[in-house]
A and B are shown apart, each in its own frame.
Chain A
Amino acid sequence: MKVSVPDAAVADPIRLSRRRKWLMLGGITFICLAVVALAGLTTPGFLSPQNLQVILRAAALVGIVAVGMAFVTISGTLFALSVEELAALTAVAFAALMADGYGLAASLTLAMLLPGAAGLVQGGIIALGANPIVTTLGFGAVFRGLASVVSGNRNVRLGDTSADSIGTGRPLGMPTQSWAFLAVVIVAVIVLRHIRFGRVMTLTGANPATAMAAGLNVGMAAIAAITLVSLAAGVAGIFAAAQFAQAKPDLFRGFNIQVVAAVLVGGVAITGGRESPLQAAMGAVFNATLTNFMLIRGHPTGVRILVVGLIAAFAVCLFQILNRERRS
């Protein structure tokens, strides 16, 4: 007996939604590859190994934080708009600790305590009912100010070369940041799909009422997600400081926008619950590819930002339409 697709969808909505997810991922990958192919044909130097490495490294830091941000969005906590400031703060803190002779291990540990605490505090306030956007915007300003204070408002040099391999190493030919990006994506997908903690987050985002009725602590999902993205921001900050052997308080300007754009272009909508952090990662790679292409072509900053923004807004509309068709 033939079962038509609509009947199958009613019988197994989870499988259809998973299929849709893979469809979207496939779609993004295809578009990415198409853009790369087109760009490679029309622009000399775009497809060179060096340039591809540049793209991957540029996408890595944004990608790591975008995966963290995906957790926030998937759990229904909207966005954490304090990541750029937190990354800058962690960067200068790490640099200052290294400069003061604390050594690599101690500096790393102490510096990462900052984003951990920051995430817990922001998450806690949001769990109490505060609006995530306003809360994180406010904290962002605080972090930026703290970064100024910690760095004495100047460039802080690490002074110690033990962090160089973190920032500029190329194990097996691929930059450390890209390895970290890869690792983060794999772990994130596994956690969200197979580990209870991740599934709780997905359910909280998809259907908070059900989650609460099932006795799950909805507030914890927010705290966990915000802490994760904050830690991711901290990692980005440390990579940046290690790469340039210095850090200043106004690093990562515009990073918030890049991370959010990656999440949006990847199709992770704020309706929560159905998406995959892999989409956010693909969004980061796509944006980095597009931006790199525009850079090589010599387009000015404004045009690059404009295009990324338009693509993000367009992606939002597109995914909304796709979403609607699935539901009806």
Chain B
Amino acid sequence: MVVFAALALLNPAFLTAASVGALIDGAALTGLVALGFGITMLTRELDLAVGSTAALAGAIALQLIGIGLVPALVLAVLAGVAVGLAHGAIVAVLGVNSLVLTVGTLIALRGLTYVVAGETTVVIPLSMLDLADVLAVKVGPLTLLSLIMLAAFALVGTMMRWTRLGREIRAIGDARDEARAAGVPVWRPLIVAFALTGGLAALAGTAMSVRSGSATPFGFEAVLLGAVTAALIGG
């Protein structure tokens, strides 16, 4: 943000709606993943496998794109949610440290991505290339992807503040023992938090892969750093 402000001051033309739109769009991928990462961070757990989850979702989406854009997207996001559910379940039931676990799973998921992608870069078949443009469609200065990200932020923010689930999630992070003593079933918000993280990462990966028209097995490696930094800076 500081960089942006500095640049804007130097060149007023920078501050157009279009450039703001572009800035938000560029941040959309990291933003979505950071949002998900932040949710698990609230429970005092870490999901370091988000980059691999995004990559896997992208690969799944593009492999399945033949059955239609929306079904492929849905299935890919569901895959991410499934990954999250597994993480949450293992952490909740076995008490395994999430940082260590997700370092292991990020390796495994990366391997799975290779397998799904058939060891190469998956590309959208030419006949379906116009589908990729769907996500680049703009509403005013904002792309569809940006809108998705902003909507996700709004939804999650609302959920965190107003719903019981959101409060439970924050409770097990701030004061897990007290929450347990108060009767909060710790496993439920834990699993939900991880599922959300997985789902959001998958959404980000899917969207980016569809839009750019290709998914490589080793993509999204830098996403982890960006998302974690963003989440930590944002507190």
B-binding residues in A (CB < 8 A): 78-79, 131, 133-134, 137-138, 141, 257, 260-261, 264, 269-271, 300-310, 312-317, 320-321, 324
Contacts and interface: CB of A to CB of B under 8 A. Distances in A.
B101 A309 contact: no
Contact of A141 (B105, B108, B225, B228): B225
Contacts of B111: 301-310
B218 to A, nearest CB: 8
Interface stretch (B18-26, B88-96, B188-196): B88-96
B95 A320 contact: yes
Contacts of A316: 96-97, 100-101, 104
Nearest to B105: A313
A138 B229 contact: yes
B101 A306 contact: no
Main secondary structure of the interface of A (DSSP, over half): helix
B109 interface: yes
A307 B222 CA distance: 23
Contacts of A320: 94-97
A11 B114 CA distance: 51
Q: What 5 A-B pairs have minimum CB-CB distances, sorted nearest first? A: A302-B114, A309-B108, A306-B111, A309-B107, A305-B111
Residue from the set A79, A305, A310 with the largest chain B CB neighbour count within 10 Å = A305
Given A302-B217, A306-B108, A309-B106, A317 B101 contact: yes
Nearest to A320: B96
B57 to A, nearest CB: 16
A261 to B, nearest CB: 6
Interface of B: 48, 90, 94-97, 99-101, 103-117, 119, 217, 222, 224-225, 228-229, 232
Residue from the set A137, A260, A309, A320 with the largest chain B CB neighbour count within 10 Å = A309
Contacts of B108: 305-306, 308-310, 312-313
Contacts of B112: 302, 306
B75 to A, nearest CB: 19
A317 B228 contact: no
Nearest to A304: B111
B119 A301 contact: yes
Given A257-B107, A309-B105, A312-B103, A324 B95 contact: yes
A198 B34 CA distance: 37
A269 B109 CA distance: 20
A317 B113 CA distance: 22
A133 B228 contact: yes
Contacts of A131: 232
Contacts of B228: 133-134, 137
A137 B224 contact: yes
A304 B101 CA distance: 19
Contact of A312 (B90, B107, B222): B107
B94 A317 contact: yes
A315 B113 CA distance: 21
Contact of B103 (A79, A271, A302, A314): A79
Contacts of B105: 309, 313
A264 B97 CA distance: 12
Given A133-B228, A137-B225, A300-B119, A308 B107 contact: yes
Nearest to A306: B111
Nearest to A253: B218
Contacts of B103: 79, 260, 264, 312
B233 to A, nearest CB: 10
Contacts of A305: 107-108, 110-111, 114
Contacts of B90: 317
A77 to B, nearest CB: 12
Given A264-B104, A316-B101, 14 more contacts: A133-B99, A137-B228, A138-B229, A141-B222, A260-B107, A270-B100, A302-B119, A303-B114, A305-B114, A308-B111, A313-B104, A313-B107, A317-B90, A320-B96
Contacts of A317: 90, 94, 96, 101
A149 B68 CA distance: 44
Nearest to B90: A317
22 contacts: A79-B103, A137-B225, A137-B228, A141-B222, A257-B110, A261-B107, A270-B99, A300-B119, A301-B114, A301-B119, A302-B115, A302-B116, A304-B111, A305-B114, A309-B105, A309-B108, A309-B111, A310-B104, A312-B104, A312-B108, A316-B100, A320-B96
